[in-house]
Amino acid sequence: MLLIVAVLAAATGLIASERESKRLQLTQVRPVSAFSIAWGKFLALATVAAAILVLPCATLLVSSEFSSRQCSHVYRPLLESPKEEALKMYDAYMADPDTSPMVKKAHKSIVLRILEQRAKDHYQTVQTNETASWTFPGFCDWSNDNPFVEPSARFRFSNTFSMRDDVYGTVMANSFFGIVSNITQTAVTVPMRLCQLKWEHDVLSFRNMGDKPVMLRPRQDVELLVPADSFAWNLFRSYVVMASILALIAAFGVFLGTGLSRPVALFVGFVMLFVVEMGPSVVEQYPDSLETDAIDRFGLSVVRAVGACAKPPSALSPLSALAADDCVESKDALGTFAADFVLAPLVLSLLSALIMRRKT
């Protein structure tokens, strides 16, 4: 985070300070295009930021605490999307006589957004001696092709009153078997071992053997972990993602500094960064739009719009994945590199060149 702030602060002044001191006009006299100036400054700053980022990554790599760790591919069950579930819930919700008249008069998009958020946090209750199952497409074929590679299941259990309680049960996935014996409200990773019983299904099941019902959110609290590769390779992929995000910040800062003075560009950049970082928490913790006035709805709409624009380039969370030994997938890292280090900076540099030609 400190490196992001430093890169943004430096990027906003690369062109703005030269324009204010009249040095940019002298540079443009030379046979060099405006795009080359913008792209060159971005590339130089992105390279410096990536080089600085190597130092903490190298520190992790040589640490004995991390060097021997392994990461795992993380798979989640196949479920209908929250948006699809919200659409199914909408008609029943509107037809329910207990639904508030204010809700029924609200715009459909507002109600659907609230229902979609609730669908993401939808809990499934598993009663005593009851079995809950979730589908993981392709797991049966994988387990048949890798019979001696033992996966794990990760759950986050809770209960009706959100109190800590013991939870006991068994986990089954094709020819693998595991036992749960831990405390709720924690992430429980259950190693599974090869057993004689074999199901030919892409199903992970949990049977509650305790004396109390347990709850979990299938979209967030049920994961299948398959061994991947070493911590070093996972760190490298995380480094690519973090360096790409820094490059995007650098390109955005150069773009702001091209059209605005440095103080204004710096202010706009930090406001945008603040909204991007704090926006999801604000939207999640703020009361429903049904209970707010027009000004609040407008503010929430702006925050959601900024968050929607910023979410694709920052969708991956490499630091949290590293901490949990979750694999940062190669295709995701390459996609982030292509979008954040190449495509987006290229577009922003072209826009910077157009602005530069008009302002000088």
pLDDT in tens, 21-33: 777 766 666 677 8
Helices 294-310 and 262-285 pack at an angle, to 10 degrees, of 110
Confidence of residue 261 (pLDDT cuts 50, 70, 90): confident
Long-range CB contacts (within 8 A, 24+) of 88-92 = 89/115, 89/119, 90/115
Whether the predicted pLDDT of 348 surpasses 80: yes
Instruction: Identify whether residues 259 and 191 lie together within a single domain.
Output: no
Ranking 100-104, 181-185, 237-241, 293-297 by mean pLDDT, the lowest is: 181-185
Instruction: Identify whether residues 33 and 6 lie together within a single domain.
Output: yes
User: What's the number of domains the chain is made of?
Assistant: 2
Nearest to 354, CA basis, from 18, 11, 45, 33: 33
The domain of 165 spans 123-216
Give the DSSP letter of residue 288.
P
**Would 236 be classed as within a structural domain?**
yes
Instruction: Identify whether residues 238 and 354 lie together within a single domain.
Output: yes
Confidence of residue 360 (pLDDT cuts 50, 70, 90): low
Q: What is the mean pLDDT of the chain?
A: 83
Instruction: Identify whether residues 202 and 265 lie together within a single domain.
Output: no
Whether the predicted pLDDT of 51 surpasses 90: yes
Edge to edge, the sheet with strand 187-191 lists 70-75, 222-230, 152-156, 187-191
Mean pLDDT, residues 240-251 taken together: 93
For a pLDDT cut of 90, what percent of the chain falls above it? 27
Instruction: Identify whether residues 275 and 175 lie together within a single domain.
Output: no
Instruction: Identify whether residues 240 and 355 lie together within a single domain.
Output: yes
Highest mean pLDDT out of 19-28, 78-87, 103-112, 243-252: 243-252
Instruction: Identify whether residues 256 and 206 lie together within a single domain.
Output: no
Strands (E), 159-257: 166-173, 176-183, 187-191, 193-194, 203-208, 214-216, 222-230
pLDDT for residue 7: 93
Instruction: Identify whether residues 63 and 146 lie together within a single domain.
Output: no
**Would 355 be classed as within a structural domain?**
yes
d(CA 61, CA 45): 25
**Amino acid (1-letter code) at residue 172:** M
Whether the predicted pLDDT of 186 surpasses 80: no
The number of beta carbons lying within 10 Å of the beta carbon of residue 253 is 29
Instruction: Identify whether residues 343 and 239 lie together within a single domain.
Output: yes
pLDDT for residue 313: 63
**Would 78 be classed as within a structural domain?**
no
Q: Which of 183, 216, 249 is the last residue of a domain?
A: 216
Confidence of residue 206 (pLDDT cuts 50, 70, 90): very high
Q: Which of 216, 250, 271 is the last residue of a domain?
A: 216
Could you tell me which residue, 196 or 132, shows the higher pLDDT? 132
Whether the predicted pLDDT of 258 surpasses 80: yes
Instruction: Identify whether residues 204 and 237 lie together within a single domain.
Output: no
pLDDT for residue 319: 85
**Would 55 be classed as within a structural domain?**
yes
Instruction: Identify whether residues 194 and 281 lie together within a single domain.
Output: no
The torsion angles phi and psi of 32, rounded to 5 degrees, stand at: -140, 135
